Copies of this chain bind each other. A is one copy, B any other.
């Protein structure tokens, strides 16, 4: 087995063990799942209009969620190491309204509902992990949304510098501007002002 694969699977096991302890048997179940995929920077993992049943869990790299509206890209989310994302179309069973692409070379664990259910049957504690993780993700999503609603664009940028400073380095400025709900030229001015204040 590719040593990088084993490293990634260990990252996945360590992540799960934050929630519940795993036996060697359970770790082997994870190691045997064929879930880890490598993607080059720029790869479109999901296109608008396509159907999928796949959820993504980022082991390494960064993926971006965006819409194309009136010919313009609108970035709504970024997911980096140890963050998971299920596109809405997986649950709605409709064609996707959004795109998912790799901002960097990325290593992603991909799961499907039927695969998850099989694992849950064998090891119910994986369902506990998914339940706890999901509850945390709801709170995170709602908190991010509340922060966005209650902040000015400058506060949003300052908040991002504090909460996810890596994103500012990793992501092109026009995508970051869109993600923060501001125009790229406003973001440039804002950054200059913030750097000037320091």
Interface residue ranges, A against B (CB under 8 Å):
65, 67, 69, 74, 76-77, 86, 88, 90-91, 98, 120, 124, 127-128, 130-131, 134-139, 141-146, 148-150, 179, 181
Q: Which of B67, B139, B148 contacts A91 (CB 8 A)?
A: B139
Shortest 7 CB-CB contacts between residues of A and residues of B: A134-B134, A131-B131, A76-B146, A141-B141, A145-B145, A74-B150, A88-B139
How far is it, in angstroms, between the C-alpha of A142 and the C-alpha of B89 when the chains are bound?
A: 12
Are A131 and B127 interface neighbours, CB within 8 A?
yes
Q: How many copies of the chain does the oligomer comprise?
A: 2
Q: Is the interface of A mostly helix, strand, loop or mixed?
A: helix
A138: which B residues are within 8 A, CB to CB? 86, 134, 137-138, 141
How far is it, in angstroms, between the C-alpha of A168 and the C-alpha of B33 when the chains are bound?
A: 48
A154 → chain B, closest Cβ, in Å?
14
A86: which B residues are within 8 A, CB to CB? 135, 138-139
Are A145 and B144 interface neighbours, CB within 8 A?
yes
Whose C-beta in chain B lies nearest to the C-beta of A90?
B139
A120: which B residues are within 8 A, CB to CB? 128
- 9 further A-B pairs in the complex, CB-CB below 8 A; given A131-B131, A134-B137: A76-B149, A76-B150, A86-B138, A88-B139, A90-B139, A130-B131, A134-B135, A137-B138, A149-B179
Are B127 and A65 interface neighbours, CB within 8 A?
no
A142: which B residues are within 8 A, CB to CB? 76-77, 88, 141
Could you list 28 examples of A-B contacts with CB < 8 Å? A67-B150, A69-B150, A74-B149, A76-B142, A76-B150, A77-B142, A77-B146, A86-B138, A86-B139, A88-B139, A88-B143, A90-B139, A91-B136, A91-B139, A98-B146, A120-B128, A127-B128, A130-B135, A131-B131, A134-B134, A134-B137, A138-B138, A138-B141, A141-B141, A141-B145, A144-B145, A148-B148, A148-B149
